[in-house]
Structure 1
Amino acid sequence: MKKGDIGNASALYVWNGFSVFWGMSFNTSPHYHDTLQLVFDLDRTFKLKDKDSDWQEYSAAIIKDRHIHQLDSNNSIQLFLYLDKDSNYARQLSHKFLATQGINDLSKSDIRKLSHNFFKKLLVESDCESLFRGYMLILRHLINPDTTVLKDERVEKAIAIIAQSRERQLTVKEVAAQVHLSESRIRHLFKEQVGQPIQNFMLWMKIVDSLNLIVKGSKVEDTAYATGFWDASHMNRSYKTLLGVTPGAIQQLDGKVRIITCSNKNLYSIKTTILKDWNGDNPSAIIEI
C-alpha cells in the first residue's frame, strides 16, 4: 500500500467541538494542524518527530495546534481526534500536557486504563451516540471534564433561537434582544458557557447545515440561500475562512471519505499544512478534510 501525506481513512465524524477519523499508511512531510490533535494506535505503535527531536515511537500522543511535526503510521492503524484549539477541552488538555512541549506521550496517563479492544471497538461503531460516548470516555480519562454544568437559561434560549432561524441572516444584536440582554453581555455569557464566540457558533451552524446539502450534491447557490448565507460568494468565503476549502472541493472529497455530521450546532474541520522543510514559511500543500 502506497504511503503518503493523506494516507487512507474511512469516515470523518464531526461533533460540537471535535472531529474524529481513523487512518493508516501515513508517512507525512513536516506539517501542522490548526487543531489540537490526539493520536491513538490500535495495533502496535506509530512514530513522531519534530524539529527538535528524532523519530520516537508512541502508542498514544498529544500534539499542540500549529506544532510542526511528521508522522509515520509504522504499518499500523491510528485513531485521530482533532479538537478546536479554543474549546474548553483543548485548553485543559494543553494546560495539562503541553505547557512546555509541542508533543507529549500519553501512554503513561490514565488513558492506559483503556484497552486496545476499547479503541478497536470504536472502529466498528457506526452511530453517532455510541461513538460520542466512547470519545467522551477518552477525554474523561485525560482531563476529567465537567459535563454537568448547566448553562444560563438565556444562553440556552439563544441557542434555541439560532437553531430555529437557520434560513435567515440572524444577527447577534437580534439574538440579544430576544433574550433581553445587551449585545456585549450575550457575547460574554456565550463565550464563557459554550466555549466559543456566539458569532462563530452561528456561522458554524450554517456551515454544518450547508455541508449536509453539499455532500448530497446540492448546488452551491441553492444551498447558500437555503441555509442563511447572503449568497453563494458569502458561502464560499465562509468555507475558505473556516474550513480552508471550497464547497466544490468538499464534494470531491466526499467521494473518498464519508462525512457524517453528528451535531447540528457546530463543526470543527481538520486542516493540515504541508511544509517544504522544517524552516519553510510557505506551505507546499494544504490538505482539508
Structure 2
Amino acid sequence: MKASNQENVRFFNLQDIPHIQAVHGLHVTNEFSRHVHDGFSIGIVLEGKRVIDQKGASVVIGPKDVFLINPGEPHACKSEDGKHTYFTICVEPEALKSFASQISEKAQETPYFSCLAAKDEELNSLIREFMTLVQKSGSTMEKEASLISILSTAILRYGDNPPEIRRISPHVQAVNRAREYIKTHYAENLTLKELAGVACLSPFYFQRLFLENVGISPHDFLIQYRIKKAREMLDQGSSLADAALDVGFTDQSHFTRAFKRVTGISPGRYIRNLQDM
C-alpha cells in the first residue's frame, strides 16, 4: 500500500463530460519548468503553497486561493515549502467559450483571465465539491451542474469582458416538459444536457430556470423522485437491492445515502418500520 504522503499526480478524463479534464497533484515536489497549456487551467491549492511564475512576476497560491491560467501563456510552477497538493480543472477553449455564450444566450468570444490568482472562498469551495464528485464517481448530472457553477462564476468574476446574464423568463411549459421527462426516465443515467435539450434551453439557463420555478435543482428533483418510487417498491415487498437498481442507483451506498437524506432514515430502518406496523 502506498504511503499517504507519497508524491503522485492523478489525471481524470471525464468521459461523460467532453472537453474537460481534472488533475489532482498529491504532495508534489517536482518543479515544472516554463511551459504552456492548450486549454484553461482553473484550480486550487489544498495543502502547502504553489508558486507560479508568469510574465516576469511570481505569485504565491495558498489554500484559500484560486488560480486561473489562460491557454498559451508561458509559466513555471513549483512548491514554496518543498511540496504542495492541488486540484486543477482543465477546460478546452471552445468549451469555455460555449459556457460564456450560455450565460447570455448570445455568441461570446473566448474568455480571458487577466487575474492569475484570487482569494475567493466561494469558488474555492465549488472546486472542492467538484473534486469530491470526480473522485467518488458522482453522477453525470451532479458533475455537470457543479461545472456550470464553477465556470460561470469564474467567467463572471474574473473574465475581462464578462457576458450579461440573460434574464429568466417564465418558460413554465419548458420546466414542465423536463419534470415529466424525469418522471418517465428516472431510472436512466440522465444528464443536465439531456434535460436542457428536452426544455430546448442551454444547460446553464435551464439549471437556473428549473431552480427558480421548482425550488430545487434538477438533480435533487430526480433523486427525490427516485426515492419516492423506491419507497413504493419497498412497500410492496421488494428487496433493498432490487429497489435501488430498479430506480436507477447502481451503487447500494449511494442509494442508502440518498434515501436517508430524503427521508431521514436508512432504507433498512424503513423496512423494519414497515414490519413493525
- TM-score bucket (shorter structure): 0.3 to 0.5
TM-score of the two chains, using structure 2 as the length reference: 0.41
TM-score of the two chains, using structure 1 as the length reference: 0.39
The structure with the largest helix share of the pair is 2
Task: Kindly name which structure, 1 or 2, has the bigger radius of gyration based on alpha carbons.
Answer: 2
Task: Specify which structure has the bigger relative contact order, considering alpha-carbon pairs within 8 angstroms and separated by 6 or more residues.
Answer: 1
